[in-house]
Chain A
Amino acid sequence: MESNRPRYCLGLLIMFMVVFSLGIERTANDYILAIVSFTGINIILAVSLNVTNGFAGLFSLGHPAFMAIGGYTTALLTFSMEKKPLFLPDLPQWLIPVHLPFFPALLVGGCFAALVAQIVGISVLRLKGHYLAVATMGFLIIVQVLLNNANSITRGPLGLNGLEEFTNVSWVAGWVVVTIYTCWKIKFSSLGRSMLAVKEDSMAANSLGVDLFYTRNFALTVGAFFAGVAGGLWGHLITAVTPGSFSLIMSFNIIVMVVVGGTGSITGSVTAAIIFTLAIECFRPLEENFGIYGVGEIVISLVLILILIFKPSGMFGTGEPKFVTGKYKQLSPTNGK
């Protein structure tokens, strides 16, 4: 009774990603490549926030905090050995010889973010709704303050710069596939059903034996892992991580993607992430040529307001579109722009 369509779509997505990333890396200029990479990172961020926010219904504003944790961890692990004494003279002894290649560093960054999410979850997940949103916002601010003041490790407001430019379209494309696959698998399994159940009616879910805390914490952790990885990719794309980058504005942007795409819909998050990243880039020449800065932000905010008024469930609602779970198909044509 289960359709094989998702499997074909996954194959299609992988093939498309391979061809696309190889093709574009040969042909396009650096500007295009950067935009494509940002789009991919935004997809990872939106889809992973969708697990926390869309599946389990935890309105978290703390996504950039996990991104920052992952980003800084990865940056420290890959930081070149020659520059370390110069840039970070006060680095704790045990951290000086620690050095990892890019991929393991990304994994460690993601896992560290996930670990922090577990610990934060213990206290924060007792709260619900608005209170949870405020608490996660507080967590984001705490992380920012820590990054700003832990000079010996993070260089404070200066941030870690001069990172090597490891991130390219292939890396991002690979992680996009992994993120989408994982979140898709979770959604269409017992784990995902229990998350959706907790979101819809926590008391009923609990009475059916679903452990609320475990389920919520798991959703937060999965989201945090991919946010951490995205942070690592992001840092090595712009070759710097600063505390200011992981701001409330960023969490606003990610949430807009999730809400506009449809809370709970993976297809929606992917589509919205693509549209938003490209829209902002499209507005940039307009802003620079005519000196009307901020048009992109205004348009995006307007879109959010209009969506909330006319289609509060977002472009795709909670589900995946009907062309039988054709999420992967949906991705290919839109991403090909």
Chain B
Amino acid sequence: MTHKKHLLHVVDLVKRFGGLVAVSDYSLTLEQGELVGLIGPNGAGKTTVFNLLSGVLKSSSGNFFFNSQNITKFSPAQTARVGIARTFQNIRLFEDLSVLDNIKVAFHMHHGKGFLNTIFHTKKFRQTEKEITQKAMEFAELMNLTELIHEPAKKLPYGDQRRVEIARALATNPKLLLLDEPAAGMNPQETAELMRTIKEIHAKQDMTILIVEHDMRLVMNLCQRLQVLNQGQLLAQGTPEEIQNSPEVIKAYLGSPKENPHAIC
């Protein structure tokens, strides 16, 4: 198989909800260190792809491989363990927990599970907790959240919540980061800031990132490669320039003049 060298290799992924085909024959190859965007009109199946890749939904057919390991049937927790982290389109923070605790939860799968260590307050327990706190602080700092760490997550403004979610995802120490509309609901200034942060994570940590986004300017500036989904099907892929000039993509977004002359919105 050719999937040996790739970080993520998706082959003919299909998801059906009853009669509705949400994603059909979706394929993707990601190399280590790439930053790829996934765009498409509403209802194109972008989030479904994310849910499939992160194990939240099970595919109807098709396979995907992560570091040449078949992870198609993995649960979300298993997927997280092999190194895929994600954020959610509609933010899913642990609202009553503090920002720091939100980030700390991400360390649970690798550290701090020992019940007896916890109860007897052993040296190992103390060390692990200290380590977790330290590392969580580092991720909070990375996302500029240092002043907010003791605030309950629900009290944060929208943009900050997004950043907590990204910090939390990064804290799982992933090899691949899936960002589901990270700029949704942000003002232009926040978006620009977010763009800088994503670039920084990408460059500094050599993180592979797959990003779903509606903000075209963000995607076009950020990504090296784009995929366009429409009605569950892969419409086009290529560099941002190629995508911008592709007639099919323009048709999907704006409608063809013949069929639907007033659909420009």
Contacts and interface: CB of A to CB of B under 8 A. Distances in A.
Interface of A: 1, 182, 185-186, 189-191, 193-194, 196-197, 200-201, 203-212, 218, 264, 318
Contacts of A185: 118-119, 121
Nearest to A218: B115
B77 A190 contact: no
Contact of B111 (A186, A190, A218): A190
A182 B118 CA distance: 9
5 residue pairs, one from A and one from B, having the closest CB atoms: A190-B112, A209-B109, A209-B80, A204-B92, A200-B94
Nearest to B91: A204
Given A204-B93, A207-B54, A189 B112 contact: yes
A193 B95 contact: no
Contacts, number: 103
Contact of A212 (B77, B132, B169): B77
| Interface range, B side | 35 or more
Question: Chain A at the B interface: mostly helix, strand, loop or mixed?
Answer: helix
17 contacts: A189-B125, A190-B128, A191-B108, A193-B105, A197-B102, A200-B94, A200-B96, A200-B97, A203-B56, A203-B88, A204-B88, A204-B93, A205-B105, A207-B79, A208-B106, A209-B109, A210-B77
Interface of B: 54-56, 75-77, 79-81, 85-86, 88, 92-97, 101-102, 104-113, 115, 118-119, 121, 125, 128-129, 132-133, 168-169, 172
Given A191-B108, A210-B109, 18 more contacts: A189-B118, A193-B105, A197-B102, A200-B93, A200-B94, A201-B94, A206-B56, A206-B76, A206-B80, A207-B80, A207-B86, A208-B105, A208-B168, A208-B172, A209-B110, A210-B77, A212-B77, A218-B115
B77 A206 contact: yes
A209 B129 contact: no
Given A1-B133, A189-B118, A190-B128, A209 B77 contact: yes
Nearest to B102: A197
Given A190-B128, A190-B132, A191-B118, A208 B93 contact: no
